[in-house]
Each structure stands twice: as structure tokens, then as C-alpha cells.
């Protein structure tokens, strides 16, 4: 198989795509690769396409040149997809993938479907940004690229605390720090800082959360009416699921928000036992063992009933229920 480097050498222009509702790792890996290529393959014309992403990520170099609209009709020699585990996750940018001469996907999701011509998936890596680091020549990573990759790792590890954080993750983060990046500021301004609206939504989600299955599970849900009241955007929900997960005694946390009438976006997290990637994949989504998501139809109670059956089966099998 050709190496990624060999594939890059053959292209004159490339599109970089992430996934819908881009998160920190998605934006960090896309811009990290763009900055790296600007330094190492200056002959290659690169355009990043991503849906609108949180304002807090705008400080990254190249963020202002990202195209948020899929309508330019450009066709690329090469399409590089980062952090997206299946083709549906490309959303409105799928056309660039469909028409590209060559497609490559670099990812860390165990549920990656292998939809690109060349797929490089490392499920043991915390973030796509971490996978990219292992494919790059370290000396050619400049400060701008390092900021992007570091931010990606920070977000997917929940600031180096989720179970996906390995010794290697820490060593790579350390090497990125040595590029001179403002690591404290990146963590504070992109991860911990919340807008007033985000804090209000977090408060409301926690206040209305419900424990079930003997306290092993917790859920909270936003219906469209509530989202309209707060003028909330899904980007405002970052962090809610993680706060639910750390409720004492909880093994599995579920957060839902209504995306259309009787359609819910589901986020799931587990602490030690439940494999939520299996459950998400069963319902057409995907993710990781301890963090996964999908979209489901029905009322909040339909969705919870359907998910509960799978969670309960896993807890019974593990002998904890």
C-alpha cells in the first residue's frame, strides 16, 4: 500500500473534510493537517470544508479560510477525510468526496466503516489529531500546526482525563507543548470557558436530569421548544454529557436533543462497563467504547426505552444488575 506521503505527492490539489457538527478534534485535525501541508507540501493547494464551528476555535491559523458552504463546485485530485467514521458524517460536503480522484480517511473511531479508498484508523489513539501526529515528521510541525493538534487531543480526552488517554497521548502532547504553544490558554479558552447561554443550558439540563435503572443511568433531554426559548445551538451543549457522566454512582449517561419533530440526537457516555459504541452502531450511529452517538426517531421515552434495553442487557451480562 502506498504511504499517505506518496499519495500526497501525486496530487496537485486537495480537499480536507471533517464531520458534521465539528468538535475540537475535528477542527483541530483538519486545520493541523492544513498548516502542516502548507509547510511541507507548498505546491499542494488545500481547501478545508467544515460546517460552522465554535467561535472559540477561530484563533487557530487557517480557521478564517475554512469554507462553510459546499456550493463552489470544485473537483479535487484528493479528498482527505478526518475524524469521520462513516460517509453520512460528511453531510453536505459529500460531493467533494464523491468526485475526488482519490479518497483517504484518517480516523480513530473503532466503528469506522472503511468507506474511503485508503483508510488509516487507529482506535487505540485518543484523537484523530494524535493519529496525525504519528504520520507527520515532527521537525516539520510548526507552532500553528501544534496548536491545532494539541487542541484536538485536549478536546477528545476531556483535558487528558478520559480512558482513551494513554502514556503515548501524554508524550505526544508534551512534544507539542515544546513547540512553544500557549497550552493553558488553549485549554481555558476552548474547553472550560462557557458563554452565559451555555451555563444556563447546563444548569437546566442538570436540574431536569433523571436517574434510572437503580441509579446506574442518568438522562437529560432538550425538546425543540426549550432550545428555541434559549436560542440554543447544538454547539452550546458541549460538556453537558460529561457533567452527567460524573454523577456519583452512574455508569451510563445519556443526553438527547430534538433535531426535528420526534427525532433526537443521542449522546452516550459510560464509565467502566457499558460499550456505548455497540449500542450507537446498532441504531445507525457510532463512536468509541466510552463515548458514542446516534440519531433516533420517536418520543424521548421511546428513545430511552430502546436504549435502556441494550444498556440493561450489558449490565446484566456484567453481573452488576
238 binds Mn ion (CB under 5 A): no
Binding piece for ligand 5GP, criterion CB under 6 A, among 59-67, 99-107, 143-151, 282-290: 282-290
Positions 136 through 165 that interact with Mn ion (CB under 5 A): 156
Separation of alpha carbons 149 and 53, rounded Å: 16
User: In the set 8, 104, 153, 291, which binds ligand 5GP (CB under 6 A)?
Assistant: 291
Name the minimum Å distance from CB 116 to Mn ion.
16
Smallest gap from residue 152 Cβ to Mn ion (A): 7
Binding to Mn ion (CB under 5 A) within 81-100 occurs at: 83
Q: How far is the CB of 291 from ligand 5GP (least distance, A)?
A: 4
The angle at the Cα of 152, spanning 277 to 109, to the nearest 5 degrees, equals 25
What is the distance of C-alpha 299 from the center of its chain?
Answer: 26
Cβ atoms of residues 116 and 105 within 8 Å: yes
DSSP state of 265: E
Is the distance from CB of 149 to CB of 176 less than 8 angstroms?
yes
The span of 36-44, 169-177, 187-195, 286-294 binding ligand 5GP (CB under 6 A) equals 286-294
Contact of 270 with 251, CB cutoff 8 Å:
yes
* Nearest residue (CB) to Mn ion, 127 versus 146: 127
Residues 69-98 that bind ligand 5GP (CB under 6 A): 85-86, 89
- Spatial distance between the Cα atoms of 96 and 108, rounded to a whole number of angstroms: 22
Distances (CA, A) of 13 to 8, 30, 36, 100: 9, 15, 15, 10
Binding residues for ligand 5GP, per CB under 6 A?
85-86, 89, 109, 111, 241, 267, 285-288, 291-295
Q: Would you tell me which residues interact with Mn ion (CB under 5 A)?
A: 25, 83, 127-128, 156
Amino acid at each position: 500500500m502506498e504511504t499517505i506521503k506518496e499519495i500526497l505527492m501525486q496530487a496537485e490539489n486537495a480537499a480536507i473534510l471533517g464531520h458534521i457538527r465539528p468538535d475540537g478534534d475535528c477542527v483541530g485535525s483538519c486545520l493541523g493537517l492544513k498548516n502542516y501541508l502548507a509547510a511541507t507540501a507548498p505546491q499542494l493547494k488545500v481547501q478545508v470544508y467544515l460546517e460552522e464551528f465554535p467561535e472559540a476555535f477561530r484563533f487557530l491559523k487557517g480557521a478564517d479560510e475554512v469554507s462553510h458552504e459546499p456550493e463552489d463546485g470544485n473537483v479535487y485530485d484528493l479528498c482527505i477525510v478526518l475524524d469521520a467514521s462513516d460517509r453520512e458524517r460528511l453531510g453536505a460536503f459529500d460531493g467533494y468526496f464523491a468526485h475526488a480522484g482519490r479518497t483517504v480517511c484518517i480516523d480513530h473511531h473503532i466503528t469506522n466503516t472503511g468507506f474511503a479508498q485508503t483508510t488509516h484508523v487507529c482506535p487505540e489513539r485518543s484523537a484523530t489529531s494524535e493519529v496525525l501526529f504519528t504520520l507527520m515528521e515532527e521537525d516539520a510541525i510548526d507552532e500553528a500546526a501544534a496548536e491545532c493538534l494539541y487542541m484536538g487531543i485536549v478536546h477528545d480526552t476531556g483535558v487528558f482525563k478520559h480512558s482513551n488517554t494513554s502514556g503515548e497521548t501524554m508524550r505526544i502532547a508534551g512534544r507539542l507543548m515544546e513547540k512553544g504553544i500557549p497550552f493553558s490558554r488553549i485549554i481555558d479558552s476552548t474547553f472550560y470557558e462557557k458563554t452565559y447561554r451555555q451555563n444556563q443550558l447546563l444548569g437546566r439540563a442538570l436540574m431536569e436530569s433523571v436517574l434510572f435503572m437503580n441509579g446506574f443511568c442518568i438522562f437529560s433531554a432538550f425538546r425543540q421548544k426549550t432550545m428555541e426559548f434559549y436560542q440554543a445551538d447544538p454547539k452550546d451543549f458541549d460538556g453537558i454529557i460529561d457533567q452527567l457522566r460524573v454523577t456519583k454512582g452512574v455508569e451510563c449517561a445519556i443526553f438527547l436533543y430534538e433535531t426535528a419533530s420526534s427525532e433526537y440526537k443521542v449522546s452516550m457516555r459510560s464509565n467502566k462497563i457499558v460499550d456505548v459504541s455497540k449500542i450507537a452502531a446498532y441504531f445507525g450511529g457510532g463512536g468509541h467504547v466510552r463515548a458514542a452517538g446516534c440519531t433516533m426517531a420517536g418520543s424521548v421515552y421511546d428513545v430511552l426505552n430502546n436504549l435502556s434495553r441494550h444498556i440493561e442487557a450489558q449490565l446484566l451480562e456484567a453481573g452488576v444488575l
